């Protein structure tokens, strides 16, 4: 068994390799070694559509995680709003990369 990580970035990530490495590190720390994780980095408008369609919430959000697998084999679709990450980084006096990494950890913990 293996862990497959796919990154979709309709809103391009400047640090895609760093993010990929960080995801691998978090998974290793959480002892996730089997499954499929698909991360999609979106705009507020796009995550709003997903939130409304699948969760019946008519507003954008920071992250959405759908885990379709089992505890032994994770199959997760993870959506992260890059716009919200940028806004929250400013609001909370952080930087964008730190905020994005917090979102990634948050999503993986939902798996």
Query: For residue 107, how many C-alpha atoms fall within 13 Å in the half-sphere facing its CB?
Result: 27
Q: What is the pLDDT of residue 1?
A: 62
> Could you tell me which residue, 10 or 86, shows the higher pLDDT?
86
Q: Where are the alpha helices (DSSP H) in 1-111?
A: 16-29, 44-55, 82-91, 96-109
Q: Is residue 56 helix, strand or coil?
A: coil
Q: Report pLDDT digits (tens) over 10-68.
A: 888 888 999 999 999 999 999 998 899 999 999 999 999 999 999 999 999 999 999 99
């Amino acid at each position: 068994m293996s862990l497959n990580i796919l990154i979709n970035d309709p809103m391009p990530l400047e640090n895609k390799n760093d993010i990929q490495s960080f995801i691998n590190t978090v998974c290793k720390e959480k002892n996730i070694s089997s499954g499929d994780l698909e991360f999609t980095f979106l705009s507020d408008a796009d995550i709003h559509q997903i939130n409304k369609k699948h969760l019946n919430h008519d507003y954008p959000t920071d992250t959405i995680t759908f885990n379709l697998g089992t505890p032994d084999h994770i199959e997760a679709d993870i959506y992260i709003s890059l716009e919200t990450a940028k806004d929250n980084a400013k609001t909370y006096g952080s930087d964008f990369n730190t905020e994005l990494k917090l979102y990634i950890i948050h999503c993986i913990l939902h798996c």
